[in-house]
Structure 1
């Protein structure tokens, strides 16, 4: 069943009005017809089973058949602070992060990042990344579309992360696996968690030091060296498993 997102204002009087690019996608790509059923999330923890009542030039009207509380989100908000990787790896990282339950993805320009984006290029990249987030959220049945923040430098990222309850930074010189297990097991549902992942080549020691001074806990991901596009997925998978055990 196809899945779409709206904002709460589009839900009224037993109907949902779909506008924007989704209209063309529904009519000309998916070739949906009146009477066809679909799921719609309002980004406010509600999900609706609907039936298409009309397809017009600039909008689609869907009649609400059933309303229910959405329970697809993790009990904690996970923030992935991802060091900018080379080529198109960021697209894969965002897609998988959204599927695994990330609340936000924050691209970070670290010292060892090969990719350098000026303001114009960063804005264009962010627009594409946001589209990938929306597509992944639809595919995964998410209740919300995770926001892809603008590219931040490392200091800006640390400042943004200050309000989070737990900060984790995988680091090759971190203590053994037992300490990492204890740190993850201590995370409680409802706590917000920031995960800092370095680019190819990892973080510089000074960056790790700054992160630890900001309250980040260094952890290990095991004895193997993981690629930057693998490390974030590993952390999100571990946290998803931990948080969804209840």
Structure 2
């Protein structure tokens, strides 16, 4: 069943009104017809089972059949602080992080980040990443669309992360899987958790030290060195299993 997101103002009088690009997608790509069922989520946390009533000139009109309880969000808020990778890797990271339950994704310019984005390029990338997050949220049945923030400097990212309940930072030189397991076990529902992932070249030692000073726990992800596009997804997978188990 197809899934779309709307603003709360689009839900009124037992109907949902969809406008913009989603209407064209419903008409021209999905070729939806009147009578088809669809689920709708709004940014207020509500999900509805709906039936497509009709297409009008610039909108789709849906009848609300029933309000549903959305149980697809993780009980904790996971913030992925991702060191900027090369090429299009960030697109895949955003897509998969949304599928795995990330609450927010924050691109970070670290010392070893090869990619350097000016303000114009950063804005275009941010728009693209948020479109990917929206598509991934629709595909995976999320109750909300995770935001992909603007690119932050390392200092800005640490300042932002200090507001969270827990911080973890995988480091290839870290040892002690038992300690890592114990740190993961302390993460509880309702908490906010920051996950710091380095770019292709990893973190500088002073970045690890600054993260520790900000309250981050250094963890290991095993004996193998994971690529930047793998490490964050590994942590999200572990926490998804832990929190939903």
Give 1:85-104 correspondences, 5 Å limit. Answer: 85-104=85-104
Question: Are positions 1:138 and 2:141 aligned together?
Answer: no
Quote the residue 2:171 is aligned against.
171
In 2, Cα distance between the equivalents of 1:229 and 1:36? 37
> Tell me, what secondary structure is at the counterpart of 1:218?
strand
Is the contact between residue 73 and residue 142 of structure 1 (CA under 8 Å) also seen in structure 2?
Answer: yes
In 2, Cα distance between the equivalents of 1:33 and 1:128? 29
> Tell me, what secondary structure is at the counterpart of 1:60?
strand
Deviation at residue 5 of structure 1 after TM alignment = 0.3
Is the contact between residue 167 and residue 195 of structure 1 (CA under 8 Å) also seen in structure 2?
Answer: yes
Question: Are positions 1:7 and 2:1 aligned together?
Answer: no
Deviation at residue 68 of structure 1 after TM alignment = 1.4
Query: Higher mean Cα deviation, 169-178 or 83-92?
Result: 169-178
Question: Are positions 1:162 and 2:162 aligned together?
Answer: yes
Deviation at residue 201 of structure 1 after TM alignment = 0.9
Deviation at residue 173 of structure 1 after TM alignment = 2.5
Quote the residue 1:218 is aligned against.
218
Quote the residue 1:106 is aligned against.
106
> Tell me, what secondary structure is at the counterpart of 1:183?
helix
In 1, Cα distance between the equivalents of 2:243 and 2:233? 15
Quote the residue 2:234 is aligned against.
234
Is the contact between residue 100 and residue 237 of structure 1 (CA under 8 Å) also seen in structure 2?
Answer: yes
In 2, Cα distance between the equivalents of 1:20 and 1:176? 51
> Tell me, what secondary structure is at the counterpart of 1:63?
strand
Question: Are positions 1:121 and 2:121 aligned together?
Answer: yes
In 2, Cα distance between the equivalents of 1:30 and 1:49? 18
Quote the residue 1:19 is aligned against.
19
Deviation at residue 211 of structure 1 after TM alignment = 0.6
Deviation at residue 35 of structure 1 after TM alignment = 1.2
Is the contact between residue 3 and residue 139 of structure 1 (CA under 8 Å) also seen in structure 2?
Answer: yes
> Gaps (5+ residues) in structure 2?
none
Cα deviations across residues 154-196 of structure 1 (Å, max 9, x unaligned)? 0000111111000000012323000000000011111000000
Is the contact between residue 44 and residue 143 of structure 1 (CA under 8 Å) also seen in structure 2?
Answer: no
In 1, Cα distance between the equivalents of 2:170 and 2:77? 18
Deviation at residue 66 of structure 1 after TM alignment = 1.1
> Tell me, what secondary structure is at the counterpart of 1:111?
coil
Quote the residue 2:190 is aligned against.
190
> Tell me, what secondary structure is at the counterpart of 2:120?
helix
> Tell me, what secondary structure is at the counterpart of 2:97?
helix
Deviation at residue 151 of structure 1 after TM alignment = 0.3
In 1, Cα distance between the equivalents of 2:190 and 2:175? 26
* TM-score normalised by length of structure 1: 0.98
> Tell me, what secondary structure is at the counterpart of 2:57?
coil
Query: Higher mean Cα deviation, 25-34 or 116-125?
Result: 25-34
Is the contact between residue 104 and residue 149 of structure 1 (CA under 8 Å) also seen in structure 2?
Answer: yes
In 1, Cα distance between the equivalents of 2:92 and 2:8? 30
Compute the RMSD of aligned alpha carbons: 0.8
